[in-house]
Amino acid sequence: MPQVVLVNPLIPPNTGNIARTCAATGTELHLVGPLGFEISDRYLKRAGLDYWPYVKLTYHESIEAFKDAHQQRGGRLLGFSVRGTANYAQFQFQADDWLLYGSETTGLPPTVISACDRTLYIPMTEPHVRSLNLSVSVAVSLFEARRQLGYLQ
């Protein structure tokens, strides 16, 4: 099953909402530091409500620590970016994919993007809108991957 990776997330409610989505779908959530908040942050917990016991959460202190974990498990790194090269809805997901998302203000760092097997984007009609909310982007792309892989039965 695909896994969600947040690289340097900054806003606790976004991460909490993403954790709730991961809990509901049984998706592993990886947080890559440094984070813009403490994992014990009350806003983070409030957004995840009482679903935290159901979140398969792994914290990686750095991108290097995450890369080590990824190397041990394998699978493709798929970076989501407004400058991605492939439309996520036309991309063929695989069960061992890692879906990477950057911080709310800067997106994925260039060094992370260069390590990705592919970069994907979510198309938007209005050119004046820079991006979708991080939790929305994760939900949209995760459910498309799950749909393609037959996990929505």
The structure tokens 């995760």 sit at: 142
- Helix, strand, coil tally for the chain in percent (to 5): 40, 20, 40
The pair of three-digit structure tokens given for residue 94, joined into one six-digit string: 């695989």
Cis peptide before 110 (omega within 30 of 0): no
Residues 22/116, Cβ–Cβ less than 8 Å: no
Residue 40 assigned to a binding site: no
Q: Which residues contact 19 (CB under 8 A, 6 or more apart)?
A: 29, 44, 47, 48, 51, 52, 55, 57
Residue 107 assigned to a binding site: no
Q: Exposed (0-12), middle (13-18) or buried (19+): which is 51, by Cβ within 10 Å?
A: middle
Residue 131 assigned to a binding site: yes
Amino acid at 53: P
Q: From the annotation, which residues make up the binding site?
A: 102, 122, 131
Q: Which residues are annotated as a binding site for S-adenosyl-L-methionine?
A: 102, 122, 131
